């Protein structure tokens, strides 16, 4: 008999890595930054967090190190886009390739070793899951009810107008990029420390790209990100349940289910934006555009 509570708890755990990464990218995009390097920051956090947890025996310290690693690698993106005004899309893709290569090179010594056990929180799931859920209303409150959050949104909507009002556009965007990197790092560490329980090269397996799609799916809202993460988490749980039940479906087809769902959602969003300009108008006005202070 299927236990709805156990299914829901599985969904929470399956959606947590994507939820962290998507919330971080949401804040970055609200500041006008289109960072396609989420996958690279996640894999860097997965390795750094696992290495720290394994070395110290403390998984929570591992998550802290993962956040720092994600923020640190995002500094490269900040320098490229905010100092040298490089193209944001190209810089993000380069960051993903850099993160994947860096993790593959330094991850070899940790292959085959186990992560320390995670302490169990309420309802038998670990505390990082609950932290991810708590971050949803916290980010909503920050962006809608605080001065700093409103400044961040103003920078993302029209960076020239925000600059004219005296706001530091580049500092605001640099902080948003660092926060997005830290959140992506924690999401990656959740995969290595709390899900797979070991380090495996390429273990994020496209989760960063799904997180990017979820931000668009959510219409750039925190609670929309939660709904999107649960949607893709539910697809993952369904995939695992069908495999465990021995359903006569090729495993490759089940494995591609989350990514197929991503494509379907993006096609639906594209169609909605084509036929309903009002519904598609939630994207920040300066998203993906670099700020030139002297123009």
pLDDT confidence bin for 9, thresholds 50/70/90: confident
State if pTM tops 0.85: yes
| 199-222 pLDDT per residue, tens | 999 899 889 989 998 998 888 999
- Is residue 163 a part of any domain in this protein? yes
- Is residue 161 a part of any domain in this protein? yes
pLDDT confidence bin for 278, thresholds 50/70/90: very low
CA 170 to chain centre: 22
User: How many domains would you assign to the chain?
Assistant: 1
pLDDT for residue 295 is more than 60? no
Question: Which of 21-25, 112-116, 256-260 shows the lowest per-residue confidence on average (mean pLDDT)?
Answer: 256-260
pLDDT for residue 255 is more than 80? no
- Is residue 286 a part of any domain in this protein? no
CATH number of the domain bearing residue 258? 1.10.3470
pLDDT confidence bin for 235, thresholds 50/70/90: confident
- Is residue 100 a part of any domain in this protein? yes
| 32-70 pLDDT per residue, tens | 999 999 999 999 999 999 999 999 999 999 999 999 999
The pLDDT score that the predictor gives to residue 10 is 86
Alpha carbons 290 and 87: distance in angstroms, whole number: 8
pLDDT top residue among 162 and 121:
162
Range of the domain at 112: 4-275
Residue 24 CB-half CA count within 13 A: 34
């Amino acid at each position: 008999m299927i236990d709805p509570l156990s299914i829901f708890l599985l969904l929470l755990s399956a959606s947590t890595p994507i939820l962290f990464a998507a919330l971080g990218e949401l804040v970055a995009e609200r500041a006008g930054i289109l960072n396609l390097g989420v996958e690279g920051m996640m894999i860097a956090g997965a390795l750094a967090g696992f290495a720290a947890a394994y070395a110290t025996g403390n998984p929570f310290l591992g998550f802290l190190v993962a956040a720092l690693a994600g923020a640190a690698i995002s500094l490269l993106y900040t320098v490229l886009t905010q100092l040298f005004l490089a193209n944001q899309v190209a810089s993000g893709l380069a960051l993903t390739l850099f993160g994947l290569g860096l993790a593959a090179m330094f991850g070899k010594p940790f292959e085959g070793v186990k992560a320390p056990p995670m302490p169990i929180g309420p309802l038998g799931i670990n505390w990082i899951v609950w932290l991810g859920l708590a971050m949803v209303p916290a980010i909503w409150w920050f962006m809608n009810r605080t001065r700093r959050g409103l400044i961040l949104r103003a920078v993302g909507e029209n960076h020239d107008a925000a600059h004219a009002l005296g706001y530091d556009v580049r500092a605001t965007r640099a902080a948003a990029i660092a926060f997005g990197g830290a959140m992506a790092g924690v999401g990656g560490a959740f995969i290595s420390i709390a899900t797979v329980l070991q380090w495996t090269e390429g273990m994020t397996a496209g989760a960063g790209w799904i997180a990017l799609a979820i931000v668009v799916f959510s219409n750039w809202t925190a609670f929309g990100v939660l709904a999107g993460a649960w949607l893709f988490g539910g697809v993952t749980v369904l995939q695992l349940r069908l495999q465990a039940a021995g359903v006569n479906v090729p495993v490759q087809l089940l494995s591609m289910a989350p990514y197929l769902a991503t494509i379907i959602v993006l096609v639906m969003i594209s169609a909605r934006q084509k036929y309903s300009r009002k519904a598609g108008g939630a994207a920040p006005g300066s998203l993906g555009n670099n700020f030139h202070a002297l123009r």
